[in-house]
Structure formats: structure tokens, C-alpha cells
Amino acid sequence: MNRERLKGMAVGFVMCAVLILGGFMATANPLMRTRNAQITYGGWNVVLDGQPFEARDGYGNLIHTINLDGWLFAPFEHVAVALGLPAHWDGATNTLYLGGPTQESGSSFTLSIGQYVVGVDIPAGTYNLIAVSGSGNIIGDVQSQLFGSLNTILAVDSAMFERSFNNLRLANGDTINIMGNLVVEFTPR
């Protein structure tokens, strides 16, 4: 190829790239802003009811805080769970649900790491459970189970563990703990 033809191809490539990138930038969310900032990672203390507080995730790892211009940030979902408040992130709607599930009676709902009390956080009934994402343990005091105890591992994409647990009968007062990074769908039977 001659030099002029190569130069023309290079200019054409650059122009296409500018047009394509310009199209992406034009469709970006107009509410999002970007700026340079100084971020300090970890080293901040939190006191809850007069006691030192260390939030930990479902694996027991310490959740580090970030300081940005005097504002203290931490992963909200993990802090809520560490405070004993059930939390579930729905990536499809970019929504963090705190507290018990908000489902209509008889409809399926999902739960992630946290402790739940049947009759308070979960309606009593019989459920089929299926792992929606992640893996982890489901343990608890469930009177319908042998010796009044539930302990099972569910996982998505695992050859070692089951993805579902069927016919779990939950009565008022039973407790369920979901650990790991497991998200479970409860479907009434």
C-alpha cells in the first residue's frame, strides 16, 4: 500500500473511534458527575451505643471504611446486616432492601446474608429454596427439622453442593441464618 492510502485509513479509523465514543458519552447518565478527590482508606473508628463497632461481612472479614472529604463511607448492605438488619441487593433494579422481605402473601421472595425470624421477617409456611447467586450455609432453629436444627449448604454452579432445598416447613418463632455470599429464593409450596 502506498503511504497516502495508509494515512487515509488511519484518519478514517480515528474519526470512527471519535464518533463511536462521542455517541457513548452522549448517552451517559446526565446526573453522574466525576471529580478528583482524596480518599483515606480504613483507620476510622465507629462507636455504637457506647461500644466500639466493627462491621464484618458474611465471611467474618472486617469491613473497611473510606473517608472522602470528611464524609465516612462503608458498604451499606454489610453495615445493615452487622447491625442485625436483614438486607438484600437487587441488581436488576439497583435497589437495597432493608428489613424483612416485602412480598405479597403466597409470592416468592429472595433473601441474602442475615438472620431472619419466621413470623416477623418471613411468613410461616412450607417453601422450596433455590440458590439464585453465590454460595453459603443456611442454618437455624427450625422445629420441623431433625433435632430442631437446619444446616445445609446451597451453591450456584457447584459440583459439590446442591442448588435447592425442598419442602422446608417454617413455623412462627423459627430462625434462619444465611451466611456466605448466598442469595436464596423462597417459593411457597
How much of the chain, in percent, has pLDDT values that exceed 90?
Answer: 26
Does an H or E element contain 175, and which? strand 175-178
- Among 112-121, 123-132, 169-178, the minimum mean pLDDT is found in 112-121
Cβ-contact 180, 134 below 8 angstroms? yes
Helices (H), the chain: 3-26, 76-82
Whether pLDDT at 146 is above 90: no
What fold is seen in the domain 87-188?
Jelly Rolls (2.60.120)
pTM of the model: 0.49
Residue range 140-163: mean pLDDT, rounded: 89
pLDDT band at 73 (very low <50, low <70, confident <90, very high): confident
Model confidence pLDDT, tens digit, residues 76-108: 766 676 666 666 666 666 777 776 655 455 688
| Statement: residue 24 has pLDDT above 70 | no
Report pLDDT for 47: 77
Mean pLDDT of the chain: 75
Burial of residue 154 (number of CB atoms within 10 Å: 0-12, 13-18, 19+): buried
Q: Is the pLDDT of residue 10 over 80?
A: no
Residue 113: half-sphere exposure toward Cβ, Cα within 13 Å: 19
**Window from 29-33, 52-56, 177-181 with minimum mean pLDDT:** 29-33
Identity (one letter) of the amino acid at 153? I
User: Counting Cβ atoms within 10 Å, is residue 1 exposed (0-12), middle (13-18) or buried (19+)?
Assistant: exposed
Place of cell 427439622: 145
Q: What is the pLDDT of residue 187?
A: 92
Mean pLDDT of 120-134: 91
Averaged pLDDT, 151-177: 92
Nearest to 82 by CA among 100, 66, 60, 67: 60
Closest by Cα among 26, 176, 25 to 114: 176
Kindly list the domain boundaries of the chain, sorted by start residue.
Answer: 1-29, 39-82, 87-188
**What is the reported pLDDT for 36?**
78
Is the pLDDT at 178 greater than 80? The verdict is yes
pLDDT for 186 beyond 60: yes
